[in-house]
Structure 1
Amino acid sequence: MRILIAGLSHETNTFSPVPTPRERFCRDGKTLLEGKAALDFFRNTGTCIGGFLKVAEAAGAEVVCSIAAHAPPSGAVQRAAYDGFCERICADVAKGGWDAILLDLHGAMVVEGFEDGEGELMRRIRAVDARTPIAISYDMHANIYPDMVERATVTAGYHTYPHVDQGETAARAAAVLLRAMKGEVTPVTAWGRAPMLPHVMAQGTHAYPNKELQAMCRQWEESGRALTASLYVGFPHADIEGAGLSAVVTTDGDKSAAEAMVQELLDLAWKARESFVFRPEPLGESVAKAKALAAQGGDLPVVMLDHYDNCASGGTMDTTEVLAEILRQGLTDVAFFGICDKAAVEACLKAGPGAEITLDIGGKLPMPALPQSSKPLTVTGTVKTISSGTFVTKAGLSPGLKVFMGPTVVLDTGTVEIVLVTRQIEPVSPDMFRILGIEPRDKKVLAIKSRVHWRAALGPLAREIVECAGVGVCTSDFSQLKFEKVRRPIYPLDPGTNG
């Protein structure tokens, strides 16, 4: 048995000013993973390709990898980059001789010129190979379009947010595909949407209602009622027709049962729509709350979330408003991760370890989609740590995965240790602090540019959680964004929407 694996993954924030060229899909910023090098990189990791490999190799298959192109969230993918990736994948598909194709896709890719990057890839693949069975793993934040599911044999979406089940999800999809190839099951799929845009800050599976929705999907799969069942909360920071919540269910030959389960998921989600809304509070109040909580003392830190600028949702990671308020209110013993500012890092590298330096950090990228952009912040501090920013993560989203933050420094102001990075990366693991000489458990305050993913590995370290509404294209205040293409009416943009 010969199996082709390919990865093309990007979550597109159409309001983000961060460009998405070909280089952004390279793990180290230079070289695209492909072939044997890609298989070796992902083998025994908690990633989708790692999950595909586990199932395929256990089945004794010969596995070939086309490309493994994964880019951090940002603006629309540049058309030349996308076309090049599709051409490579389709050329490998066209070589023929494949018994199955396994695709690691995100589900919320927008490309210059069209909204549905994954569906377009599927159309191009099926133009050269109409028959080979295909299994796809999708992120829970997928915005579903027809071709994404109807042109595949089987699809599966993550059941957890934080996404700690990436490898498991791919393995679920691959296992169903192998059963179908043996004639044990006949996959049939139904899907549907609800007219709602759940706020990302209200999508975590640690709480109602997504916790209950995903549990329902898992129970159906475990009982055999469904081959795969996926509730996609969608990615709302995409001004496209298909943004929002959807459900996809695949059964063994029973289309009506699949349709009934889809409707059950959509009905439950719609009934809980108010719980999918997040209402932020003024920044000054949040920072004051964090200061008071930190003053109470305790064995673990207060975690502050600068969630309007989460680069894992397309944020620039260079907005300074939350950091500025932390400094203004005089919080102490703070680790702030972080500000993406290549020029500031280079200035610190030039100054050298132990040097005191005054410089402007952040506020470099204009954000025309917002009513306001961020401003550079002048800080004075000592260059405490210099790091290559490369490590292997031990826990959290993708255990065993090699991570490239790029050259990284810690600038210590005396009250706040500011992490300055050269590549946008969400701070989700204690490892990211520890390689910089910061023990996160020992700080009074951890201030991080994250939304939900931090809970996977940093969550156990949090004594209290304070959500801070700063500035950024991941804003939870939808009134700051101009939606022109998303289908209307849709809740909560249109409060009177009927389900």
Structure 2
Amino acid sequence: MKILIARLNHETNTFSPVPTPIAAFSPAYGEEAYHANKGMRTAMAAFIDLAEGLGATLVTPVSAMANPSGPVHAAAYDELTRRIVEAAPGCDAILLDLHGAMVAENSADGEGDLLARVRAAAPGVPLGVALDLHGNITEQMVQNADVMVGFKTYPHIDMYETGEHAGRLLLQMLRGEASYRVCWHPLPLMSHTLRSTTLEGAMRDAVDAARQLEHGGLPAVTVFAGFSLADIEAPCMSVVATCREEDLDATQAAVDDLAQQIWQRRADYVYRSEALADSLRRAANLAQGATRPVLLLDHGDNCMSGGTCDTMDVLQAALAQGLTGIAVGPICDPETVATLIKAGVGAEVEVALGNKVPLAQLGLHKEPLQLRGRVHAASDGGYTVTGPIYTGQRCHMGRSVCLDIGSAQIVVTEQPHEPWDLGVFHCVGVDPTRFRYLLLKSRMYCRPVFVPLSAGLVECDSPGVTTSDYARFPFTHVHRPVYPLDSL
């Protein structure tokens, strides 16, 4: 028995100026792809464990994951997908760990086009897919998969479990125990990422309803929040189910009913930002008398949604309001890192920090923030994740420096990086628990680690390519009408 197992993950923000060449994926091929996932918390790792439990021969052509950014370069998309497609003939089953919201320069439906090519290369071979909760599901994806299962958590902590779920169903097909189909219901609803958390609100209720359908006997039901920062036809929510062929009509009815419940609460999937100055005033009130830091989450420049990780609006506004005792990080500015390292630890320096990547599609061109401070520490920017997301994974931010400006200590890195873990501060000798405020460029991924250590959380919207203000984005390809761009 031969099973094809591969991973190709990218969430594409078509408004992001951050490029996505093949190097951004740090791809691993063949045996290296296997070792990059074995023992990890990825869906591909679960596929590997299931296949090895059967004594199957594994074919692992590629494992590639890039942080969210702009459209995938055509050459990168062609090379990474080619390896998967060419490995498909002769395999008895195919399990793919994908994202579901990939857009390439030469493909508006990255996963759909890939699945269609894999299906054509290996007709009749059972094909299962594990996807991110923020997948933009398309008809082509649904038609070319036998099994489709998505994450049920955001922040995402069930990647492995999702892979195990999808793989278990597909192996039932392989053994002749079941024949599965995928059905779905797309909605004209562009949800806000900050309203797709499964910790509370409408999204939690919708995911709970999907779980209830599974407990009632359906093999798999997923509520996909979609990823709306993509100017494609339908960057929208959908409900997807994997069902037995004989139950297709009943399952479609259940999916339609759940989709209708979501639509009735469509306003609950819209995030309405307050003015940045108001957010910072709330933070200052929370900090009074607090013994733990207040989190300031700059979700307008979140690199895990395609942000540049270098906009300075929130820090600049915080300093203007007189906030002190701020730990900030990470800010991506390779030029400043080089300047600080050349100056050396202990040196007094003047720098022009951040705001160096033009946000051309939003019509924004900002000036760097002029700061004076002391080089507190420097490191290679490496740390190991201890929290529940990507536990045990070694992360690298590039060369990293802590700049102390008195009112704030700022972690400056060579690469954009999500603050997954305390390690983003510890690697440059900063204890984030000793500050009044922690300014993080994040939406959700920081929360499992940082929220338990904090006195409160304030979401700060800033004018970046991951802002929650849809009015800033020049959508041209989205099929209209769609909520909330239109009144429906």
TM-score range, shorter chain: over 0.9
Could you tell me how far 1:142 is from its partner in structure 2? 0.5
Deviation at 1:250, TM superposition (A): 1.1
Q: With structure 2 as the length reference, what TM-score do the two structures score?
A: 0.97
Which residue, 246, 251, 254 being the options, matches 1:258? 251
123-132 or 306-315, which deviates more: 123-132
Q: Deviations over 1:450-471 (max 9, x none)?
A: 1122222222122211111212
Would you say the 8 A contact 1:305–1:450 is kept in 2?
yes
After TM superposition, give the deviation of residue 420 of structure 1 in Å: 0.7
Superposition pairs of residues 89-168 of structure 1, within 5 angstroms: 89-94=84-89, 96=90, 98-168=91-161
State which of 177, 180, 184 in structure 2 corresponds to 1:184.
Answer: 177
Cα distance in 2, alignment partners of residues 58 and 390 from structure 1? 34
**Which residues of 2 match residues 166-205 of structure 1 at below 5 A?**
166-205=159-198
What amino acid is the match of 1:205? T
- How far apart, in 1, do the equivalents of 2:81 and 2:175 lie? 29
| 5+ long unaligned stretches in structure 1 | 27-31
- In structure 2, the residue matched to 1:20 is 20
Aligned partner of 1:355 in structure 2 is 347
Deviation track 1:197-227 (CA, whole Å, cap 9, x = no partner) reads 111111111111111111122232244x211
Does the CA contact (< 8 Å) of 2:330 and 2:424 recur in 1?
no
TM-superposed CA distance for 1:475, in Å, is 1.1
Alignment partners' CA distance in 1, 2:47 and 2:203: 26
**Deviation of 1:292 (Å):** 2.5
CA deviation string 1:168-225 (max 9, x = no partner): 11111001111111122221221111111111111111111111111122232244x2
Contact 1:249 1:261 in 2 (8 A): no
1:374 shift after superposition: 3.0
| Cα root mean square deviation, aligned | 1.4
Q: For residues 184 and 129 of structure 1, what CA distance do their matches in structure 2 show?
A: 21
Q: Secondary structure at the match of 1:381?
A: strand
1:10 matched to 2:2: no
CA contact (8 A) 2:145 2:182 kept: no
CA distance in 1, matches of 2:258, 2:365: 39
- The secondary structure found in structure 1 opposite 2:362 is coil
Q: 1:385 matched to which residue of 2?
A: 377
Contact kept? 2:387, 2:420, Cα under 8 Å: no
Deviates more, 1:317-326 or 1:45-54: 45-54
Query: Which amino acid in the other structure matches residue 274 of structure 1?
Result: A
Aligned 1:458-497 pairs, distance under 5 A = 458-495=450-487, 497=488
The residue number in structure 2 matching 1:306 is 298
Q: Name the CA distance, whole Å, in 1 between partners of 2:327 and 2:53.
A: 44
1:268 maps to 2:261 = yes
> How is 1:64-83 mapped onto 2 (pairs within 5 angstroms)?
64-83=59-78
Q: How far, CA to CA, are the matches of 1:56 and 1:411 in structure 2?
A: 48
Match of 2:421 in 1: 429
Identity %: 40
Task: Write the letter of the residue equivalent to 1:394.
Answer: T
- 1:236 deviates by 0.6
For the 8 Å contact 2:329–2:424, the answer to whether it is kept is no
Alpha-carbon distance, 1:390 to partner = 2.0
Question: Does 2:396 align with 1:397?
Answer: no
Q: Distance in 1 between matches of 2:218 and 2:427?
A: 44
Name the CA shift for 1:350/1:330 in 2 (closer, same or farther; >3 Å). same
Does the aligned pair in 2 maintain the 1:321–1:374 contact within 8 Å?
no
Q: 2 CA distance for matches of 1:373 and 1:311?
A: 18
SS at 1:410's partner residue? Answer: strand
Contact 2:377/2:401 (<8 A) preserved = yes
* Contact 1:322 1:468 (8 Å CA) reproduced: yes
Distance in structure 2 (CA, Å) of the matches to 1:53 and 1:374: 47
Residues 363 and 376, structure 1, Cα contact 8 Å, conserved in 2: yes
Q: Which runs of 4+ in 1 moved over 4 A?
A: none
Mapped to 2, the partners of 1:338 and 1:329 lie a distance apart of 21
More moved, 355-364 vs 288-297: 288-297
CA contact (8 A) 2:373 2:404 kept: yes
Gap runs ≥5 in structure 2: none
The CA deviation at 1:435 is: 2.3
CA offset digits 1:107-133 (Å, max 9, x no partner)? 111111331000111122122211221
Partner SS for 1:180 = helix
Q: Counterparts of 1:133 and 1:404 in 2: how far apart (Å)?
A: 37
Which of 34, 40, 51 is the aligned partner of 1:39? Answer: 34
| Secondary structure at the counterpart of residue 369 of structure 1 | helix
Alpha-carbon distance in structure 1 between the residues aligned to 2:126 and 2:392: 29
Q: Distance in 1 between matches of 2:235 and 2:153?
A: 19
Aligned to 1:335: 327
Distance in 2 between the 1:440 and 1:311 partners? 20
The count of aligned residue pairs is 487
- State the match for 2:270 in structure 1: 277
TM superposition shift of 1:239: 0.9
- Does 1:346 pair with 2:338? yes
How far the C-alpha of 1:314 sits from its partner, in A, is: 0.5
**Equivalents in 2 of 1:400, 1:221: separation in Å?**
31
- Give the secondary-structure state (helix, strand or coil) at the position aligned to 2:88: helix
Residue in 1 that maps onto 2:431: 439
Q: Distance in 2 between matches of 1:348 and 1:83?
A: 39
Structure-2 separation of matches of 1:442 and 1:206? 27
1:325 aligns with 2:317: yes
Letter in 2 for 1:311: C
| Structure 1 contact 316–424 (Cα < 8 Å) conserved | yes
How much has 1:371 moved relative to structure 2? 4.0
**Cα offset for 1:402?**
2.1
SS in 1 for 2:201: coil
Q: 1:344-373: CA deviations, max 9, x gaps?
A: 111111111111211101111111221433
| 1:402-459 residue CA offsets vs partner (Å, 9 max, x unmatched) | 2222111111111211111111111122232222222223322111001122222222
Contact 2:287 2:455 in 1 (8 A): no
Go from structure 1 to structure 2 and tell me whether the alpha carbon gap of 1:296 and 1:409 turns closer, same or farther (over 3 Å shift): same
The counterpart of 2:46, out of the listed 38, 45, 51, is: 51
Counterpart contact for 1:42–1:401, Cα < 8 Å:
no
**Structure 2 SS opposite 1:414:** coil
Query: Counterpart of 1:29?
Result: none
